[in-house]
Amino acid sequence: MNQRHKLEQLCRYITRPAIANERLKLNSAGDVVLQLKSPCQDATTHIVMSPLEFMQRLAALVPRPRLNLIRFHGVLAPNAKLRPRIIPGRPDPHHDALDDLGGAPHHSTSVRMSWARLLKRAFDIDIEFCPHCGDTLKIIVAIVDPPVIARILAHLGLPTRAPPRAPARSFDLFVTA
């Protein structure tokens, strides 16, 4: 089940800019000219504004921090009374079903994925598969103590520090052709 293409398409969609660079130009007076995707009812095809006004309008598109951008209404709203009945994998708090055999309360299975499955899904790295014999591997320990990790890497002759981050690349948004 290789969905790498869909993952790449999703990443391209969520990282796209608010305004396409091809529709932005600077005129001879130094004003920003934004070409509209389609003409308005009054046949307006371009909006001309000062660079400061453009920045103010662009900044208005940035959402406030820690704000959920997806809003649900009706039955999908967070506190809707009927929501537990339509959301899969969630037990209905008003209906405590008992198991037929033991009489214990019924618990739904966890919807969280293991970190090994997340690595496989996101990066196509299968750490539970042996490349030599083809058998399933079992994870017996995860080393998380930084001094121990540094000693192991030093013993193997590998760098103990992550490489420095590259400086941010600058590009001119208003390139005149």
pLDDT tens readout for residues 34-45? 999 889 899 999
> What per-residue string of b and e applies to 116-145 under the rule 16 or more CB within 10 Å gives b?
eeeebeeeeeeeeeeeeeeeeeeeeeeeee
**174 found inside a domain:** no
Give the pLDDT mean for 157-177.
78
Q: What is the pLDDT of residue 16?
A: 81
The reply to whether the predicted model has a pTM over 0.85 is no
**29 found inside a domain:** yes
Q: How many domains does the chain have?
A: 3
User: Residue type for 59, please?
Assistant: A
**54 found inside a domain:** yes
Residue 64 scores a pLDDT above 60: yes
User: Residue type for 57, please?
Assistant: R
Q: Is the domain of 154 the same as that of 119?
A: yes
Write out the residue range of the structural domain in which residue 88 sits. 67-111
The better pLDDT of the pair 83, 49 is held by: 49
**170 found inside a domain:** no
Q: What is the tens place of the pLDDT at every residue in 142-162? A: 888 999 999 999 999 999 988
Q: What pLDDT band is residue 79 in, cutting at 50, 70 and 90?
A: confident
